With several copies, the nearest count.
Chain A
Amino acid sequence: MRYLPHTTEEIGEMLAATGHERLEDLFSHIPQACRYQGEIDIPKPLSEWALNDHFIAIEKNIQTASAKAILVGGGSYSHHIPQIVTSLMSRSEFLTAYTPYQPEMAQGTLQGIFEYQTLTARLLGMEVANASMYDGASALAEALLMSLRIQKKKTSVAVSSAIHPHYREVVRSYLLAGSFNIVELETGPDGRTDLSKLQDIEDLAGVALQSPNFFGVIEDLETAGTAIHSVDALFISCFTEPFAYGLFRSPGQCGADIVCGEGQSFGMSQSFGGPGLGMFCCRSKYQRNIPGRVVGETVDIEGKRGYVLTLSTREQHIRREKATSNICSNQGICSLTAAAYMASLGGTGLRRVARLNYDKASYLKNALVECGARPLFNSPTFNEFVLNFADDFEPVRNRLIDKGIVAGINLGRFYHEYEGAYLFCVTETTSKAILDAVISEVRS
């Protein structure tokens, strides 16, 4: 086997050096009762080429593999990824390194993460960012836990019902054991979170909103921030689509205390939902409460600028059960990827692509409305929006699938009150020709 370098002679000689006769003898102290019986039941080894054929067969079994377009977002977005990002991130010095415990051998990773933290903080208008969480959902859960740590005596958090339903499920899993109280805030008729009942909730440590929210609607974060701060809770702003901040004001500018969300849009392929990137920022006054790894600037003994993992006294390997989080491995190369992606875009490019998303989504939304569809909510949206149709949309959707276009998902899966309303997503990757095909199918 090409991954196992030992020749038979070497094994013999090495066994002699360790005082064993056969490889099995290395395990002689393992009790019989613990032993594996027989051979592991998995397929016989495939050569590199047979493996390739096997994957080609699997790919044929992925029915969207040849789709022309998938106009669905909901937390996983199709964006163009420059080839340089993919090529650079596959350099083995980045890819096959461990967490940078030995900074002298990992300055590439460390400077790269420091740059990621900086660009992330700039994007979100915040003062401090960490080196990544697993994904947007667990980042939100950790943000809420962080608000409970900061506001030690409080036991409740409030979460907008317009936050991605899966994110709210993850929040529930993470907070369940702590016997914290999670209040869901209703969505108003404008598709924005209804904050009018905040005052009624006791012991509120943090309030979380998502913008653009699951319905694609841009929340009025500034107004929300004022309301949240007025009940002395931390304002947590989350997102699934960071491209929005190329066009819209950042959560930081609107007064958020913690900002977190999913960074997959920045250079990671969709890959059935992972790996993505949990982005996480906060005000610097909370930096010692932040979960996860952080990289900080320092100098070496000759005074040269360099980077190290820092604030580790928050972390599990030092603090153990008192750590701010249990996170250890995180999304390393994904954070570097996001930084490379942001660098490729630049400020000018980010704005331009964000605008394209907005323009293209608006084009489809307006055209479908002209065809008789009704927006579920009338507030401004970015690259996602929800429509109701006079007739059942499912047959149209199926016809489009036959043409290689998957358009929208039924919101009923997530909100039974919105059964039959469809969530669409249009990004810069969709050409007008595709959008026109959808429009004409709806029209016909």
Chain B
Amino acid sequence: MTHGPGMNGLILDEPLLWEKGKKGRCGFSMVEQDVPEANLDNLENLLGDGPDFPDLSEIDVVRHYTRLSTWNFGVDTGMYPLGSCTMKYNPKINEKMAAMPGITTSHPLLEDKLSQGTLQIMFELQKFLAHITGMDAVSLQPAAGAQGELTGMQIFAAWFRKKGEKRNKILIPDTAHGTNPASAALCGFKPVAIKSGADGTLDVKVVTELMDEETVGIMLTNPNTLGLFEESIRDVTTIVHEKGGLVYCDGANMNAVMGVVDFKRCGIDVMHLNLHKTFSTPHGGGGPGAGPVCVVDQLKNFLPVPRVKHEKGRYYLEYDHPDSIGRLHAFFGNFGVLVRAYSYILSMGAGNLKKASQLAVLNANYVREAFRDVLHLAYDKPCMHECVFSDKMQHKYKVTTLDMAKRLIDHGYHPPTIYFPLVVPGAIMIEPTETENRDDLDQFVAVFKDVVREAKENSERLREAPTRTKLRRLDETRAARKPCLIG
């Protein structure tokens, strides 16, 4: 505990909402009843009693959530090196922009002429994302990365349907994020796992063997979930294309390669971006996100409708695309998230976006070097935005990745992603992001090294961690065995 920010402090307890309150209290400002009460007579058997909600005063609600918030840890609290999640700083100004009254009150069903400003944001953001990825056309509708993947898979399906081809397998590397096979399966495809090569990247030979004319193509992540760039990407995409297949790229790790990699040149046909990662929109404890889908020209007619267009100074929605896969969202996706990403891109400009990727990669490599003698490095190659270690060197002390992760909490750090990707047993996946400064990285490294030292010298302490949080280790098995999902 010599370097870290972790220490004890007073935080307050707080019961569940319905353990508070008194019937008749009210935390809501009631509007005047300026019209006569309407007749309820014809409603008898439809009327209910309303739900049993606790009645609270305004201060009750304020204290409840203020206290709950103090049990949480966010990027604003401290370093959050959660691999694959790109927990970078979320600029406050973006929140302000998304909260502008004209934006928050705009209704999604009005005629285009009443919504020019909102359509403009969407149109320009589409253009920006196309330019950033190198792709040709973009739909902003997917509400998260996984829905972006689903969209992409549906485009695959529609493409082959249109061509009259019946294909139903899809190649997915074993390092893929869980959403990849799940999204493919939702579309009725049968995922075929590709074992990644000894160096953690795709083996062209394996792809060649597996790719055939019953396979729609490949769904890969680049940079992949080991934090490595798929160097043979051009060969892979060529092979797939030669067999009439399409290539999907999970672009959730775009933060490593903005201004560095052109995905169209790599041979990608469809990709999604996670705006809540690369483009700095906050994660909100689980969402909302946004997972725009970018495609090459030949697939643009398959994108979801409506599409946002611009002509003669007028923005408009276009519905008439018979090849379109249809709609994925009731309206235009998580528009408020799009506004934040748009605001971020405008604040950064081309140079800073590229710089952000460079620094993200620099930070990851710096951390990778720093730990190489205390943690087992899963693949000893230069990494991109994240680096993956394992607990192999700690096995002899009967200390696991989980123990080290929990002990980091005591020191005031959010742990890295653990036990993912599955191909690295006991994985510890660290993604510092570019917004961490060097001093903070050094402190993190020093603390983690302390933990590693403790693994040897006082391993019990790690197995008991965390001890400084409001609650100690939680019993997840019990939660799953006898689920208690409502109170």
Contact = CB atoms under 8 A, between A and B. Distances in A.
Say if the two chains contact directly (CB < 8 Å).
Answer: yes
Interface string A85-128: 01111111111111111111111110111110111011101011
A174 B183 CA distance: 11
B330 A4 contact: no
A316 interface: yes
B329 A274 contact: yes
A273 interface: yes
B317 to A, nearest CB: 11
Nearest to B122: A272
B352 A272 contact: no
B182 interface: yes
B53 A342 contact: yes
A118 B485 CA distance: 8
Nearest to A85: B61
A273 B438 CA distance: 41
B260 interface: yes
A196 interface: no
B219 to A, nearest CB: 11
A201 interface: no
B335 A275 contact: yes
B138 to A, nearest CB: 13
A444 interface: no
Interface in A408-444: 409, 428-429, 431-432, 435
A174 B258 CA distance: 32
Interface in A1-52: 1-11, 13-15, 17-20, 23-24, 26-27, 29-31, 33-37, 39-52
Interface in A313-370: 313, 315-323, 325-336, 339-340, 342-356, 358-360, 362-363, 366
A106 B36 contact: no
A218 B47 CA distance: 10
B198 interface: no
Of A1, A84, A88, A102, most buried by chain B (CB within 10 Å of CB) is: A1
Contact of B72 (A89, A105, A355): A105
Nearest to B361: A26
A65 B107 contact: no
A274 B368 CA distance: 39
A14 B366 contact: yes
Interface stretch (B143-151, B203-211, B393-401, B452-460): B143-151
Contacts, number: 763
Interface stretch (A151-159, A202-210, A224-232, A246-254): A246-254
B88 to A, nearest CB: 8
B74 A93 contact: yes
A127 B54 CA distance: 18
B51 A122 contact: yes
A45 B35 contact: no
B443 interface: no
Given A94-B74, A432-B35, A319 B288 contact: no
A34 B74 contact: no
B140 to A, nearest CB: 10
Interface string B8-20: 0010001011100
Contacts of A220: 45-46
Contacts of B382: 26, 29
B105 A343 contact: no
Contacts of B157: 176-177
A326 B179 contact: yes
Nearest to A120: B486
A331 B69 contact: no
- Counting from the closest, the 10 A-B pairs by CB-CB distance are A273-B331, A332-B286, A65-B102, A333-B284, A273-B108, A45-B349, A96-B74, A362-B38, A346-B55, A62-B117
20 contacts: A1-B26, A27-B361, A34-B261, A34-B266, A50-B31, A50-B32, A59-B100, A75-B331, A83-B96, A94-B284, A109-B72, A112-B65, A134-B143, A269-B105, A271-B103, A272-B103, A300-B475, A320-B182, A325-B186, A348-B26
